[in-house]
């Protein structure tokens, strides 16, 4: 069997952004395990990400995190990326590591701290101007640990005010992508805990404020594909942070924990017009490879997204429509399960070869000698910022 031309064509437009921090050392709050050969500079992270794209054809952009990826000349960094065959993607802000942000950033009760947080975001927009990036991703660690610690409603108002100032600074082609997360690092309440809160804040801002759905940021048992459907229906889904989780925000390889959930999410993406570069929905990975090698970890991740997408594209829509209209519960469910159970790996290998890519990108990376080279050349790699 080979992929239908329509499916093959749609797979050709897939783009998945890689997070720069996936290539650096990372860990848990218990331990960061250093790995040989990890990047020491933003340029080396980009060079590693470019390997993933060269071998898969799926990852043409690298998302940066500021200040983890701070350089003097961001225009030069964009040129460096282009010379390596990739571009700069989403710019992620960081208001969770300074002492000043202990009690919050955009939601803090002290106007001085809010000013600092707003200014940081304005500086991130400067980076976007210099790199050509269109998306400013805001994930806030803001929240409280104890009931009564701060006024939740006032914090929501401060957030709206801060976001409005940042939004006003955006260029016409730029967007705010507001990410939600139900808990952690705050344990009692989080200021942007769910898609509803992100949505109402985005609606107050305007058309160029959209929601980011990180697949690891929901309570266990949440029907994530329902959220995908609803946000697409409202044209407010701006981006995915893909990863997988067994317990909380595990940031493991996407598709590793629950490939069926990934398939169901991608089904709604395809169904709702969220697929492809013109859809307004950015696919990004937000993962850390704490114990496995990082470049192959990212290769496996993008291949997992591609595989789930191929299966979602295989669904016989006309037959499904008919079964749904007929109220044929088992037939409708069977149509989905047939697509999910289809082994597309050999077809995808052929598809890759037909495009001049290695049939097996994991094996190609292992044989490339790149890993041995970076291990020999790079000493003293960076920590992404997570963990101790």
Residues that bind ligand PSV (CB under 6 A): 92, 139, 179, 181, 214, 241, 249, 286
What are 301's two structure tokens?
Answer: 């991740």
Determine the Cα–Cα distance for residues 91 and 117; give it in Å rounded to an integer.
Answer: 15
Determine the Cα–Cα distance for residues 54 and 38; give it in Å rounded to an integer.
Answer: 19
Specify the stretch interacting with Mn ion by CB under 5 A; choose among 67-75, 164-172, 235-243, 335-343. 235-243
Whose Cβ is closer to ligand PSV: residue 135's or residue 307's? 135
- Smallest gap from Cβ 387 to ligand PSV, in A, equals 12
Whose Cβ is closer to Mn ion: residue 249's or residue 360's? 249
Q: Which does 92 bind (CB under 5 to 8 A by kind): ligand PSV, Mn ion, none?
A: ligand PSV
Concatenated DSSP letters for 107-168? T-SSHHHHHHHHHHHHHHHHHHHHHT--EEEE----EESSTTSS-HHHHHHHHHHHHHHHHH
- Smallest gap from Cβ 60 to ligand PSV, in A, equals 20
Say whether residue 17 binds Mn ion (CB under 5 A): no
- Smallest gap from Cβ 284 to Mn ion, in A, equals 8
Say whether residue 286 binds Mn ion (CB under 5 A): yes
- Smallest gap from Cβ 139 to Mn ion, in A, equals 6
Whose Cβ is closer to ligand PSV: residue 136's or residue 364's? 136
Q: Which conformational region is residue 206 in: left (phi greater than 0), alpha (psi within -120 to 50 degrees), or beta? A: left
Q: What is the dihedral angle through the alpha carbons of 227, 228, 234, 236, rounded to the nearest 10 degrees?
A: 110
Whose Cβ is closer to ligand PSV: residue 84's or residue 137's? 137
**Judged by CB under 5 A, which of 214, 307, 347, 382 binds Mn ion?**
214
Whose Cβ is closer to ligand PSV: residue 85's or residue 196's? 196
Q: What's the distance, Cα to Cα, between the start and end of the chain in Å?
A: 49
Whose Cβ is closer to ligand PSV: residue 145's or residue 354's? 145
User: In the chain, at which residue ranges do the beta strands (DSSP E only) sit?
Assistant: 16-19, 61-65, 87-92, 135-138, 143-144, 175-179, 189-190, 209-214, 237-242, 282-285
- Smallest gap from Cβ 142 to ligand PSV, in A, equals 12
Query: Of 185, 176, 61, 173, nearest to 121 (Cα)?
Result: 176
Determine the Cα–Cα distance for residues 23 and 294; give it in Å rounded to an integer.
Answer: 5
Q: What is the dihedral angle through the alpha carbons of 326, 328, 329, 331, rounded to the nearest 10 degrees?
A: -120
Determine the Cα–Cα distance for residues 248 and 285; give it in Å rounded to an integer.
Answer: 16
String of contacts with Mn ion for each residue 358-387, x by CB under 5 A: ------------------------------
Could you tell me which residues are beta bridge partners of residue 102?
A: none
Residues in the chain, how many? 388
Q: Which does 69 bind (CB under 5 to 8 A by kind): Mn ion, ligand PSV, none?
A: none
Whose Cβ is closer to Mn ion: residue 93's or residue 304's? 93
What are 269's two structure tokens?
Answer: 């993406």
Whose Cβ is closer to Mn ion: residue 134's or residue 244's? 244
Residue at shortest CB range from ligand PSV:
139
**Judged by CB under 5 A, which of 161, 249, 258, 350 binds Mn ion?**
249
- Smallest gap from Cβ 16 to ligand PSV, in A, equals 15
What are 259's two structure tokens?
Answer: 């490939």
- Smallest gap from Cβ 30 to ligand PSV, in A, equals 17
- Smallest gap from Cβ 353 to ligand PSV, in A, equals 34
* Binding-site ranges for Mn ion (CB under 5 A): 214, 241, 249, 286
């Amino acid at each position: 069997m080979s992929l239908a031309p329509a499916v093959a064509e749609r797979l050709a437009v897939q783009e998945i952004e890689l997070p720069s921090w996936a290539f650096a050392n990372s860990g848990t709050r218990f331990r960061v395990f250093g790995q040989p050969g990890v990047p020491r500079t933003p340029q080396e992270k980009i060079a590693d990400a470019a390997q993933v794209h060269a071998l898969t054809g799926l990852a043409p952009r690298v998302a940066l995190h500021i200040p983890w990826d701070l350089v003097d000349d961001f225009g030069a960094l964009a040129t460096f990326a282009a010379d390596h065959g990739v571009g700069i993607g989403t710019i992620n802000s960081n208001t969770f590591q300074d002492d000043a942000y202990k009690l919050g950033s955009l939601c803090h009760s002290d106007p001085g701290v809010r000013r600092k947080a707003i200014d940081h975001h304005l500086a991130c927009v400067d980076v976007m101007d210099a790199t050509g990036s269109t998306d400013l991703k805001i994930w806030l660690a803001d929240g409280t640990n104890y009931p009564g610690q701060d006024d939740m409603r006032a914090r929501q108002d401060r957030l709206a005010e801060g976001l409005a100032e940042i939004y006003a600074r955006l260029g016409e082609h730029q967007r705010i992508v507001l990410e939600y997360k139900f808990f952690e690092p705050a344990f009692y309440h989080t200021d942007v805990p769910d898609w509803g809160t992100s949505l109402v804040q985005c609606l107050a801002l305007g058309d160029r404020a959209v929601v980011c759905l990180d697949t690891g940021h929901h309570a266990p048992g949440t029907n994530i594909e329902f959220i995908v459907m609803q946000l697409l229906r409202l044209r407010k889904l701006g981006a995915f942070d893909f990863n997988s989780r067994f317990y909380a925000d595990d940031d493991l390889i996407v598709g590793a924990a629950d490939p069926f959930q990934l398939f169901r999410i991608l089904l709604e993406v395809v169904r709702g017009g969220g697929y492809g570069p013109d859809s307004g929905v950015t696919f990004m990975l937000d993962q850390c490879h704490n114990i496995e090698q990082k470049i192959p970890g990212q290769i496996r991740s993008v291949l997992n997204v591609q595989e789930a997408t191929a299966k979602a594209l295989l669904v016989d829509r006309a037959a499904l429509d008919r079964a749904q209209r007929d109220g044929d519960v088992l037939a409708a469910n069977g149509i989905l399960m047939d697509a999910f159970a289809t082994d597309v790996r050999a077809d995808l290998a052929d598809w890759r070869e037909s495009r001049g890519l290695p049939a097996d990108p994991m094996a190609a990376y292992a044989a490339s000698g790149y890993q041995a080279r970076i291990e020999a050349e790079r000493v003293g790699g960076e920590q992404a910022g997570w963990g101790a």
